[in-house]
Amino acid sequence: MERNLEQVFAADPYKQKGGYILRSSNLMMAYKPYNPSGHRIQHAEIRGKSIQEDQIYRIAGDG
């Protein structure tokens, strides 16, 4: 998710490779687009439960 945000909000225009944030059902995310790379996501949850950093999740998206 951080990588996708970097492609959209990178300060360096040569690193901007996508214009859309990936979306998925049941995924909620709070982020600060102008924070430094790797520190944009403030909170993320799937189906109302906070994402745990030590878990692996599979997310399907359209696009």
pLDDT tens profile 7-47: 777 777 777 776 677 777 888 889 888 888 888 889 999 88
Residue 3 in contact with residue 18, Cβ under 8 Å?
A: no
Residue 12 in contact with residue 48, Cβ under 8 Å?
A: no
Amino acid of residue 15: K
pLDDT band (50, 70, 90) for residue 48? very high
pLDDT at 49 over 90: yes
pLDDT at 63 over 70: no
Return the pLDDT at 62. Answer: 64
Count of other CB atoms within 10 angstroms of residue 22:
17
CA 33 to chain centroid: 10
